[in-house]
């Protein structure tokens, strides 16, 4: 990924997904709560989010998520499929079912609340 700081992708072991691979990747996560980080090249707010996440890696890891990422500037089909109006956006999934999303990075506390809300929804679909 030329010109992209991919440090967060490796630190949080985010698997890259494409329009063709996303469904299989989410299925391979089994019972894990999954999050897909939709981002774009030269997206200032995406870089801010990655840096903020890297500033507190243990807190991010403690959320217990299976991480995926997609550059929707290249994977435009994913942007259309998930009706993205901006990045960064995170979508939460469990067993392939979409549970919710977080748009923009508004800090760890708000992101953790979105994770908690998604995790609570897993209880209703089991």
Q: Confirm whether 81 is domain-assigned.
A: yes
Q: Confirm whether 91 is domain-assigned.
A: yes
Q: Confirm whether 2 is domain-assigned.
A: no
CATH of the domain at 24: 3.40.30.10
Q: Could you read off the pLDDT of 85-121 as tens digits, one per residue?
A: 999 999 999 999 999 999 999 999 999 999 999 999 9
Q: Confirm whether 67 is domain-assigned.
A: yes
**Of the candidates 67, 59, 81, 76, the residue with the CA atom closest to the CA atom of residue 6:** 67
Number of domains in the chain: 1
Q: Confirm whether 1 is domain-assigned.
A: no
Q: Confirm whether 55 is domain-assigned.
A: yes
pTM score, two decimals? 0.94
Tokens 């508004």 correspond to 106
Q: Could you read off the pLDDT of 13-55 as tens digits, one per residue?
A: 999 999 999 999 999 999 999 999 999 999 999 999 999 999 9
Cα separation, 81 vs 35, in Å, equals 16
β-strands 33-39, 89-94 pairing: antiparallel
- By residue range, what is the domain housing residue 11? 7-125
Q: Give Cα 100 distance to the centre of its chain.
A: 11
């Amino acid at each position: 990924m030329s010109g992209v700081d991919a440090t967060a992708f490796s630190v949080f072991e985010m698997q890259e997904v494409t329009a063709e691979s996303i469904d299989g990747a989410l299925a391979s996560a089994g019972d894990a709560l999954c999050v897909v980080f939709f981002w774009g090249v030269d997206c200032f707010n995406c870089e801010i989010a990655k840096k903020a996440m890297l500033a507190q890696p243990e807190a991010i890891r403690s959320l217990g998520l299976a991480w995926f990422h997609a550059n929707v500037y290249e994977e435009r089909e994913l942007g259309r499929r998930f009706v993205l109006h901006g990045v960064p956006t995170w979508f939460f999934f469990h067993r392939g079912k979409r549970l919710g999303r977080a748009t923009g990075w508004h800090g760890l506390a708000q992101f953790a609340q979105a994770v908690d809300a998604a995790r609570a929804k897993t209880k209703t679909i089991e």
